[in-house]
Every structure is written in C-alpha cells, then in structure tokens.
Amino acid sequence: MPVEVRVPAFGESIVEATIGRWLKSDGDKVAYGDPLVELETDKVNVEITAEQDGVLQNIANKEGDTVSVGDVIAYLGEGNGAAPAATPVAQTAPAAEPKASNGAAPVEEDDATITPIARKLAEENKVDLKLVTGTGPNGKIGKEDVTAYIAKQSAPAPKPVEAPKAVTPVTPPAVKPVAAVASAPAVTGSNRAEERVRMSRRRQTIATRLVEAQHTAAMLTTFNEVDMTAIMEIRKRRKDSFKEKFGVGLGFMSFFTKAVVGALKAFPYLNAEIQDTDIVLKKYYDIGIAVGAEEGLVVPVIRDADRLSFAGIEKEIGTLAGRAREGKLTLAELTGGTFTITNGGIFGSLMSTPILNAPQVGILGMHKIQERPMVVGGEIVIRPMMYLALSYDHRIVDGSEAVRFLVRIKELLEDPESLLLEG
C-alpha cells in the first residue's frame, strides 16, 4: 500500500518549512532509510527519509515551495505500483462576487485540501473557506489564498471618475529651440552577467530577526581593550600537556566563556530578558557561541557553562562547531541561550558592533589580536591587544552597568588565575 510522505512536526512552534531540494526524483526507486527531500526551517534543515522500499511518486511541491506541518508532499509506492491519483477539487465560479460571511464555515480537521496555517488564518478572520479559491496542487488552499481573499474583500470600492471640465486652450509663448542632449549610451559587453540565488529559509530568518532586534531593543555598544599577554603565555606553556591530557586544544574561547560567566554573576541584568513588563533574571548560564556555517550564522548553546571546566568548554565548542558546519545541529542545541559570544577576529575583524541575539540583552564581540605599542609602568612596550565590544539593551541595562561589566571581563582575562576563583 502506498505510503504518504508528509511534512513532520518540528516542535518549537515551527509550523512551516521550505522545500530546500529533492534528493530523489519522481519515479526513482528508493530503499528504506534513503533521504528523499531536504526541508529548510527557520533554524535547521531536516531530511525526510523513506519509510519503506519502493518508488517515489506524485511529488506535489517543487524546490522553494512553502509547506506546512502535516502536508502530503509525495507518495512512496510499493515496487513499481503507482500511488493513488490525486482527486481534483471541483471549483464552480459563483454568479456574483460573494461577501465574507459573519462566521467561518466548519471545516473537518483532516481536510487535506486546506493547510493547517490557512485554516487557522481563516478562523481568526472569520472567512468562509468555501468561498476561497485554492491555487496549490490539486486546488489546495494555502495561507496565500486566504490572505488574498481577505485583501480583496477589504479593498475599497473604486471612486467614480468625474468627467473632465472644459479647459480654454492657451497658446504658449514662442520658445527658442534647445539643442538636444545626448542620452547616456546603453552599457553593453560580455561582463554584465547576473545570477539570481534563492535566499534560504535560514538566511531569511536571520535577516528578519536581526532587523527585529534593532527595531525592538534600545541597543547600544560600549568598547574596551584587553591585554592578551597572560593568556597567550599560559597557552604557550600548557597547550601540549593540556592536549595530551584532555584530547582537545586549549583555545581562547574557554577563557572568554569563563570570564563572561564571572561577569554575569556580578551583573545579573546582562543575563536576563524582557517579557511584557517583567524582567526575567536567569539563574543559569547557557552561553551561545556564534559559528559561521555555509548557510549563515548559527548560535549553538553551551548549557550550564558555569559548571564546565576549561576542557569541558573546549570539547563542547568543538563538537557544536563541527555539527554546525556539517548542518547537523538540532533545534535543542540552538535554543535557550542567555548570553552570546561572537568572534569576528577569526576573519580578521579589528572592530565591530555585534547585534543582539533576541531575546537576550547582551552580546560580547571578540576581535583580532594585534600587537600594538602600549605604555606599561611608564615604558612603551609591544603587547598583543584585542578590542572588545559589548552590545546591550539599554531598556534594562544602564550604561554604567554595561561599562563595568566589560571592565570586569577585561580584569578576569588579564589575570587568568582569577578565572579559577569565579568557577
């Protein structure tokens, strides 16, 4: 018996996805467990695999289409057996343009001709779905169809056009002829090629959330610099023994994560979020580490970072970064952070203003380590320096608090032994 290939439930309030790419074509033979299609959600990409051996048939959605949880997007027939043909939806044109009824007609919950999000939108706007024309496969009604119907019903009636009034012709004065201005020549040549690339769903979500963060939060950034001499000296002395003992390198991120946790304990309003008119202070420390992946920036979270050793933090960062680059992060690994660290220095950035990762109210930006002349003890010496940037939400974090928070991080990093006392 043919098996329906449906869009699975993703959790985390995700009700839609985009068909990223079909990994099999209509008519291809597949085996149990073979990946059929890749779906893009707001946070992760998900592969749907075959639930039995058979033939992939009746692919209903092309790459780039938006689908909802529960939608049937294809069938998996047994052997060479054909999947059931989809029954077309009869649509009868009404004699006159109907108006929206006072209440939505009841629709069966398992009606496969209406997407769940379209049904919800219709209920919220009291739209009778019998009056909506579906434009999806086999006449399926989607969110866009309901939205278009609502817009059409609410559009104002066109105003009558008044007849133009008679105008007495006026003879214009004689004008001296003006020399014609030559228009700019059209640009031609073989180097004018363009390429249109579809924006992935994750990239769309990143763009939307970054703009929302700037529009919602009262975001400010404060700067400082840290002398990395002590940390670099420790890493030089301990890197070999650390790697031999724990099987992982001693990087900079463990020092910065420890310093951030220590500063958050001293300034708890940086480890909070705003919910309506309340401030929710977090008593745990889930630190997000921004990682550049092929499809855009992702921020996997180190849970309970205050309870981890330097080796534990380095191992967790290595694991999460590897999974990010392979596109294998789960939703659980990407949600619930309380503060974020981003390191533009690995790309050569000397200074930047990081954007908040909402609903968090603080993010620390690391940058490139650069040797600069510094005055130490009345003498000019060359020191490895790094600029730090702290962006914060001024709605609940005062400027003085943000400055002192960043100074505390600087103090902890320049005296690494103090990080042991904070742990």
Per-residue pLDDT tens digits for 28-39: 999 988 899 988
For residue 102, what pLDDT band results from cuts at 50, 70 and 90? Answer: very low
Does 91 have pLDDT greater than 70? no
Any idea which residues carry the catalytic annotation?
394, 398
Mean pLDDT of the chain: 82
Could you tell me which residue, 335 or 92, shows the higher pLDDT?
335
Q: Which two tokens stand for residue 85?
A: 């043909």
Q: 301 exposed, middle or buried (CB, 10 Å; 0-12, 13-18, 19+)?
A: buried
**pTM recorded for the entire structure:** 0.61
Q: Which of 97-101, 139-143, 220-224 has the lowest mean pLDDT?
A: 97-101
pLDDT at 80: 54
Closest CA to 259 of 423, 409, 362, 364: 409
Q: Which of 5-9, 68-72, 156-160, 220-224 has the lowest mean pLDDT?
A: 156-160
Cα–Cα distance, 326 to 368 (Å, whole number): 26
pLDDT at 93: 44
pLDDT at 413: 96
Cα 311 to Cα 244, 252, 318, 346, 400, distances in angstroms: 11, 12, 11, 21, 33
Amino acid (1-letter code) at residue 4: E
For residue 133, what pLDDT band results from cuts at 50, 70 and 90? Answer: confident
Cα–Cα distance, 77 to 85 (Å, whole number): 12
Does 109 have pLDDT greater than 80? no
Q: Which two tokens stand for residue 158?
A: 């066109």
Q: Are 340 and 288 in contact (CB under 8 A)?
A: yes
Mean pLDDT of all residues in 377-406:
96
Mean pLDDT of all residues in 365-374:
96
Could you tell me which residue, 44 or 383, shows the higher pLDDT?
383
Position of tokens 């060359």?
Answer: 382
pLDDT at 159: 57
For residue 195, what pLDDT band results from cuts at 50, 70 and 90? Answer: confident
Q: How many of the other CB atoms lie within 10 Å of CB of 152?
A: 10
Q: Which of 5-19, 217-231, 308-322 has the lowest mean pLDDT?
A: 5-19
Mean pLDDT of all residues in 7-14:
75
Task: Please work out, in degrees rounded to the nearest 5, the angle formed at the alpha carbon of residue 418 by the alpha carbons of 412 and 420.
Answer: 120
Does 165 have pLDDT greater than 70? no
Q: Which of 36-45, 197-206, 360-369 has the lowest mean pLDDT?
A: 197-206
Mean pLDDT of all residues in 35-56:
85
Q: 140 exposed, middle or buried (CB, 10 Å; 0-12, 13-18, 19+)?
A: buried
pLDDT at 213: 77
Quick check: helix, strand or coil at residue 289? strand
pLDDT at 231: 96
Question: Percentage of the chain surpassing pLDDT 90?
Answer: 41
CA 313 to the chain's CA centroid: 25
Summarised one tens digit per residue, pLDDT across range 170-194 is: 555 655 555 555 555 666 666 778 8
Summarised one tens digit per residue, pLDDT across range 292-348 is: 877 677 899 999 999 999 999 999 999 998 888 887 888 788 888 999 999 999 889
Instruction: Pick one of 3.40.605.10, 2.60.130.10, 2.40.50.100, 3.10.20.30 as the CATH number of 3-77.
Output: 2.40.50.100
Domain assignments of the chain as residue spans, ordered by start: 3-77, 218-422
Task: Please work out, in degrees rounded to the nearest 5, the angle formed at the alpha carbon of residue 14 by the alpha carbons of 12 and 16.
Answer: 170
Does 98 have pLDDT greater than 60? no
Could you tell me which residue, 173 or 274, shows the higher pLDDT?
274
Q: Does domain 218-422 have CATH number 3.90.180.10?
A: no
Mean pLDDT of all residues in 280-288:
96
Quick check: helix, strand or coil at residue 113? coil
pLDDT at 154: 67
pLDDT at 175: 55
For residue 200, what pLDDT band results from cuts at 50, 70 and 90? Answer: confident
